[in-house]
Amino acid sequence: MEATPQLDPDLLDKVINLCKRRGFIFQSAEIYGGFRSTYDYGPLGVNLLRNVKQAWWRAMVQTRVDIVGLDAAILGPPAVWAASGHLETFTDPLVDCLKCKERWREDKINGVCPNCGSTEFTAPRAFNLMFKTQAGPVEGEGSTAYLRPETAQGIFTNFANVLSTTRKKPPFGIAQIGKSFRNEITPQNFVFRTREFEQMEMEYFVPPADAEQWYRYWIETRLNWYLDLGIPREMLQLHEHAKEDLSHYSKGTTDVEFFFPWGFDELEGIANRGDYDLTQHAKHSGVALDYFDQASGERYTPYVIEPAAGATRAMMAFLLSAYHEDVVEGETRSVLRLDWRLAPYQVAVLPLSKKPDLEGVSAEVLGQLSPHFMCDYDVTQSIGKRYRRQDEIGTPFCITVDFETLNDRAVTVRDRDTMTQVRVPIDGLLTHLRNATGQI
Ligand code: ATP
């Protein structure tokens, strides 16, 4: 067992504070007192979250010929959730504390009320986590609809559509990013567990005999995705579920866990779901959901390997692992060492003063870079303060346009992590940054 990483005990508070102060994440409906456990993503947060999703899409769809994308509806009829098993079994055990009356998820509190310390609770009862609503103006059985609690089922219900329109054959995958909704009993820990969140899920359909091998492959591949985007190895671990803890349909589940301030906790689950989902939907819909392999003349229902990740939860992990403090010229600087692909702004253009000729050249620099990099522009305060503000939100490169620029048509490029500065001609700036980010 490796040593547990040491974290600043105030890390969570510091990151939550930064998120609010700089416009990453706001409490939803704040001007009305807030709405518990719902959050809005501000100008910086929306960029970071988009970049997390984009990095996933790039790794899972763009750079692979064996995976295609999908964007299915959020609203669905009860039939889908009857077939998937969610109507019957997508429940958490709910208990009430007999002393303070707070309501908890029994499997998360180890028999002690986190609010008042009491150990006496009501007997657990099953609470279905799906949000139920009504589609159309007439209430009644026929109009019941559910908000999806996971994106996966939209993939299974489109299996035949995708198969016939793309001519893919196992092994192949269908990937989807989108919002999911769960009426969590105890939403907590900022955006770690919320009632409305975003998922990044992929269902990989394989010949049954190859399922175990693909399951191992996806555990490895998904762990590497987080490492590649900068999370240190010691902050990640794999947790393979014991056979007795598996859902009835699962032939194996391994979680990728991140070292959150409260300990290792799930970022993503990779499961070998067997043929459960396709078989269930085929049975309930009456539509065949199998694959005919022309080469072998064999018809079979593919097994499914599912890497299911949370986009909002991953964003939180990237923020927590990127947050650092160091001392620069006697002052504490907070810096987000985010991978450049994730940073809300990749470049900040900073004219040394508001003089029109400096702003003019700065506009030219922005015009050159902004089609290729997400750029910020800041002309207020001293240059030192502006560097700190960019460090704090994770901007990898600051470009300073100074009076010398008017003579030599060169600018200063400052690196967030090393704080070194180099002089680069404006005409070579794009190439310089592409080089520095490993794109060429
Ligand atoms: P838990 O047991 O913690 O409730 P789960 O194992 O049911 O979660 P999955 O159904 O496997 O979660 O969902 C896949 C991923 O979706 C999770 O690993 C997580 O990143 C994300 N996720 C699930 N529920 C939430 C939530 N309420 N808020 C934010 N992200 C979530």
- Residues 423-432 pLDDT 10s: 999 999 999 9
Residue 265: CB within 6 Å of ligand 1?
A: no
H-helix segments, 10-58 = 11-22, 43-57
Residue 173: CB within 6 Å of ligand 1?
A: no
pLDDT value, residue 74:
98
Determine which residue's CA is closest to atom 10 belonging to ligand 1: 150
Instruction: Quickly state the pLDDT bin for 2 (edges 50, 70, 90).
Output: low
Residue 149: CB within 6 Å of ligand 1?
A: no
DSSP secondary structure letter of residue 138: S
Long-range CB contacts for residues 259-266, cutoff 8 Å, separation at least 24 = 259/4, 259/5, 259/7, 259/234, 259/235, 260/189, 260/192, 260/317, 260/320, 261/7, 261/11, 261/12, 261/320, 262/189, 264/237, 264/239, 265/192, 266/239
**Residue 255, both tokens:** 């979680």
CA of 38 to the centre of ligand 1 (A): 15
Determine which residue's CA is closest to atom 13 belonging to ligand 1: 308
**What mean pLDDT is predicted for residues 273-285?**
97
Give the strand pairing for 172-181 and 67-70. parallel
**Residue 63, both tokens:** 């750079």
pLDDT value, residue 205:
98
Instruction: Judge whether 334 and 392 are in contact, CB under 8 Å.
Output: yes
Instruction: Judge whether 374 and 349 are in contact, CB under 8 Å.
Output: no
Determine which residue's CA is closest to atom 25 belonging to ligand 1: 193
Q: Which residue has the tokens 């990740």?
A: 309
Tens-place pLDDT, residues 359-404: 999 999 999 999 999 999 999 999 999 999 999 999 999 999 999 9
CA of 10 to the centre of ligand 1 (A): 25
Amino acid at 259: F
Q: Which residue has the tokens 């909002």?
A: 312
**What mean pLDDT is predicted for residues 19-28?**
97
pLDDT value, residue 49:
98
pLDDT surpasses 60 at 206: yes
Instruction: Judge whether 250 and 340 are in contact, CB under 8 Å.
Output: no
Please state, rounded to an integer, the average pLDDT across all residues of the chain: 95
pLDDT surpasses 80 at 4: no
**Residue 157, both tokens:** 């219900």
Tens-place pLDDT, residues 220-259: 999 999 999 999 999 999 999 998 888 878 889 999 999 9
CA of 75 to the centre of ligand 1 (A): 19
Determine which residue's CA is closest to atom 23 belonging to ligand 1: 310
Q: Which residue has the tokens 């990099």?
A: 373
Alpha carbons 36 and 300: distance in angstroms, whole number:
46
Q: What percentage of the chain exceeds 90 in pLDDT?
A: 90
Q: Mutation test of ligand 1: which of 183, 199, 260, 277 has the most ligand atoms closer than 8 Å to its C-beta?
A: 199
Alpha carbons 440 and 431: distance in angstroms, whole number:
8
Tens-place pLDDT, residues 90-144: 999 999 999 999 999 998 898 999 999 999 999 999 999 999 999 988 877 789 9
